[in-house]
A and B are shown apart, each in its own frame.
Chain A
Amino acid sequence: MATDTVTLKIKRGESGGASRWEEFRVPRKPMMNVISCLMEIQKHPVTADGRGTTPVNWESSCLEEVCGACTMVINGRVRQACSALVKDLSPKGEPITLEPMTKFPRERDLVVNRQRMFDALRTTKAWIQIDGSHQLGAGPKVSQDDQEVMYPLSRCMTCGCCVEACPNYNDRSDFMGPQVISLTRLYNMHPSGRMQAGARLDALMGAGGISDCGKAQNCVQVCPKGIPLTESISVMGRETIKRALFGWLLKG
């Protein structure tokens, strides 16, 4: 296999339409990632067998793996295209396959509609309720230990890797996904966020909530930020059980 070029096999298609595979060959450069391959195709939209085609549509923004936009399935594994380096994916010139995520409706080529994840953040009241942005003095004190738990949880980019890997997240289920459960843990840990903990737990105990988790534990293996998703699910599992058993006593 040639190592002066990169071969890409890309699954393309329209919203609701059939898929087709197109193969491309682009010049190999140092430190190349999947995004720079797609950029090469924009500049030379010609397939490997020399047919003119259209540039591939995909979603991207930061290219530093902090925004979550460029998530797709690369060589069968869901991840961000920006941090997918050619030298790792194709050390000897093996073809690289790109496919859109499967758990969301395809809009075009590698672009899918992930609105469902943002809707879930509304359902679970994923915010700290403040009295206003005006001056009310310093915030609550937080211990270093708590900060070290909260900060990693807060790095969730809503990218969708965890739900792509989750067998219980699909168009036949309402499951909101591990990312939402983990973020609920974050808000419920915060000294003032805790004051609305009950309402968030109620949302997790409702439709599409924590009971839909099948404990497959795939999520934690694909999270690009290494968020302890299964730990969060188990912590929130205990919290929801406590609330189910004793919530009527606590008024919370």
Chain B
Amino acid sequence: MAAKSSILTQSNQVRRAIVVGGGLGGLMTVIKLCEAGIPVDLLSLVPVKRSHSVCAQGGINASVNVKGEGDSPYTHFYETVKGGDFLANQPPCKGMADAAPGIVFMLDRMGVPFNRTPEGNLDFRRFGGTLFHRTAFAGATTGQQLLYALDEQVRRYETLDVEDDRGVTVPGEKMVRKFEFWDLAGLVLDDSGVCRGVVAQDLKNGEMRAFRGDAVCLATGGPGLVFGRSTNSVINTGSAAAIAYKQGAIYANGEFIQVHPTAIPAADKLRLISESVRGEGGRVWVPKDRKDRRHGRDIPEAERYYFLEERYPKYRNLVPRDIASREIFRTVIHEGYSAEGEQAAYLDVTHLCKTAAGKSAVRKKLEGVLEIYEKFAGADPYENPMKIFPAVHYSMGGLWVDFEKGADGSLKPGSARNQATSIPGLYATGESDYQYHGANRLGANSLLSCIYGGMVTGPAMAAWRDAQPQSAFDLSSTLFDTEHKRRVDEYAALGSRSGSDYSVNPYQLHEKLGEMMLQKVTVERHDAELDGVLSSLQDMKAQWRKAAALDPAAKGTINQPTVFLRHLDGMLALAEVIARGARDREECRGAHYKPALDPELHPDDPKAVGRDDARWLKTTLATFDGEGPALRYEAVDVSLEPLAKRDYGKVSAAKPPPGEAAAQGPANT
């Protein structure tokens, strides 16, 4: 019996789809599935309201043209692919930019408390990567507010009954069942390689359980923890994506890791200071005297070096993130400038706060961000320039997903191919996919891509489900029992790692991994160092096999150290994908930068090719060969707009800038 013909199995089991991950991408997927009448099991590492989407600060892009500047979704599309150094497939980006105004209106209807104009309309602010006011925002905690809105809608579906095909309520069954504090342990693949469900673990008691699903989506976020400390939440290990990769899913463009220019260094994580701070007028500088040890506020204007403004007179402080991060890195690390003698630069809003009215305006728009600086750095950012340094922030790469192009050249909504990974029946969305940002993400495009991805994934999963001749719920239980047993045994083996054979502390191993990746695979990449990283990763994988379960006696209860072993295994696998992709890509593109190939540094070296479209306008595809990644490449769909030089020194002539300052920096979200 085809799955579409019945919500219930003969034994009255509800046929459900599975979404793993409860951030913006996952929740939007759930909402779309429910609207299509498909009940969902939603699995999440944390209560979905605590997902990493809360960390997005600055806003969400949508060309509503509310200020009458002549902005359009097409311009947004173009700036997105240009910001990504033309590595993104253009049809999905076009689909996203076209859908953006409708997405912001939907969020507004859901009750997101967006900032308003005096007329009561949505207010939009300037962000990097554009000349227009295109970013809707709710204070400086926009991601949190968007997540809460979707969380609330999904909570409503937790109260709505499942109805059978005749519209009769199925007793006790709700449209959404949440499994919070559950961790993905494996995918259930049938003999033809189709994903039929997952095995997941209840982190409260260690219980492993197989879930059947007529389509499965991973919306499990990025792998920021591979770099140890980053702007990411501590749950962002990439474990679920790594499990899918190890079970055959293609991981694409892993080497493209966004380093955000402005974060506060600390021992546990690097906290983001939103690009909206620069969007609202914040300036980046260092003392002109490299030996200057005075407090930032005591250094007179004439003794400050506004290096971004000098080097990029048009885009000034809002050059794209990859460029700003490289400039700060270069200025501080190579040129030896500092902030109070520390390896940092200043991000300064104090000039906007000289009057009470100015300070109040800054507070209304940026309070959530500035309060992070105040709380964690312990200094008042309204009075003191903030000390910042670049930090790993976002992975443009992720699970490879497909798309179907419509007659208009844009993504074709409703196709089962959209957001489909290389494993049939398995979908991916949000930061865990690779689709929308090319080689560098524009600020305030991540919230958009998560929600757009979800809007596309739900209908794609519904179409897939309807096209299957046999439902996962009609398959023999052997398939599920086998994967279940495999994962139970695997976990038991991890949990029994004690004694002298297991001398490695997994948290220390993680620290080593993070420090190495942070030093050698971020802003500047050198082939010799990458070779060293790849070799060290082999050693670290061997050490992982000696890593101990630090709490082997804890069974039937929370056991964070043992679960961490699984996540660390995934991080090591993705670290190798990232480093291998970086080593093999012989060009500079977006966030991937090799000084040896930079023609500005080596004008006379024919090998310093910069961006090399002839050879490298290609998506990196990594597959797991049993040991590590095997790479191949596929062409990028650039069917809508021709490639252009990505030059932020000269403003594109396509549109005259509204006003003088041309901001092209990815804003922070």
Binding site for B on A (CB under 8 A): 14-15, 29-33, 35-36, 39, 42-45, 54-55, 57, 59-69, 82-83, 85, 87-88, 107-109, 111, 113-114, 118, 121-122, 125-130, 132-144, 147-148, 150-151, 154-155, 157-158, 186-187, 190, 192-193
Q: Does B475 belong to the interface (CB within 8 Å)? A: no
Tell me the complex Cα distance, A114–B46, Å. Answer: 12
A43-B557 contact given A64-B372, A83-B375, A187-B111, CB 8 Å threshold: no
Interface residues in B245-290 (C-beta closer than 8 Å to A): 265-269, 271-272
Min CB gap B114→A, angstroms: 7
* C-alpha gap A119/B265 in the complex (Å): 37
Cα(A107)–Cα(B180), bound, Å: 14
Q: List 19 A-B contacts (CB under 8 A).
A: A31-B376, A43-B507, A45-B550, A55-B551, A64-B271, A66-B144, A85-B376, A111-B558, A121-B152, A128-B152, A133-B32, A138-B105, A138-B108, A139-B108, A142-B116, A142-B120, A154-B138, A157-B54, A158-B47
CB proximity to A under 8 Å, residues B545-586: 550-551, 554, 557-561
A154–B49 CB distance below 8 A: no
Closest to B150 in A: A133
Q: Which residues of the other chain, A, contact B152 by a CB distance below 8 angstroms? A: 121, 126-128
Interface string of B7-46 (1 = CB under 8 A from A): 0000000000000000000001001100100000000001
Interface-lining segment among B155-163, B294-302, B404-412, B592-600:
B155-163
Taking the closest CB of chain A, its distance from the CB of B578, in whole angstroms, is 23
Which residues of B sit under 8 angstroms from A107, Cβ to Cβ?
A: 204, 557-558
* Contact of B155 with A61 in the complex, beta carbons under 8 Å: no
In Å, the complex CA distance between A130 and B31 comes to 12
Q: Assess whether B235 is interfacial by the CB under 8 Å rule.
A: yes
Shortest B29–chain A CB gap in Å is 11
What is the bound-complex CA distance between A193 and B156, given in angstroms? 13
Contacts of A157 in B (CB 8 A): 49-50, 54, 144
Interface contact tally, CB-CB below 8 A? 204
- Do the beta carbons of A36 and B267 come within 8 Å of each other? yes
Contact: B375 with A150, CB < 8 Å?
no
Besides A107-B558, A132-B35, A154-B145, 8 more A-B contacts (Cβ < 8 Å) are A54-B551, A61-B50, A64-B272, A109-B558, A126-B152, A139-B108, A142-B116, A158-B49
A178 to chain B, nearest CB (A): 17
Q: Distance in Å from the Cβ of B264 to the closest Cβ of chain A? A: 8
A74 to B47, CA, bound (A): 22
Cross-interface CB contact of B376 among A60, A83, A122, cutoff 8 Å? A83
Contacting pair B120 A130 (CB below 8 A): no
From B28, B114, B376, B560, A33 is in contact (CB under 8 Å) with: B376
In angstroms, how far is the closest chain B Cβ from the Cβ of A224? 9
CB distance from A134 to the nearest CB of B (A): 8
Report if B188 contacts A (CB, 8 A): no
B-chain residues with CB within 8 Å of residue A130 when the two chains form the complex: 106, 109-110, 153
A85 contacts across to B, CB distance below 8 A: 375-376, 378
* Residue B102 interfacial (CB < 8 Å): yes
Given A14-B557, A39-B507, A83-B375, A62 and B105 contact (CB-CB distance below 8 Å): no
Q: Within the complex, which residue of B46, B114, B116 is in contact with A143, where a contact is CB–CB below 8 Å?
A: B116
Query: Could you say which residues of chain A place their CB within 8 Å of the CB of B50?
Result: 61-62, 67-69, 157
Alpha-carbon distance between A155 and B146 when the two chains are bound, in angstroms: 11
A192 and B508 within 8 A (CB): no
Given A62-B55, A83-B376, are A31 and B49 also a contact pair (CB < 8 Å)? no
A69 to chain B: closest CB distance in Å?
Answer: 5
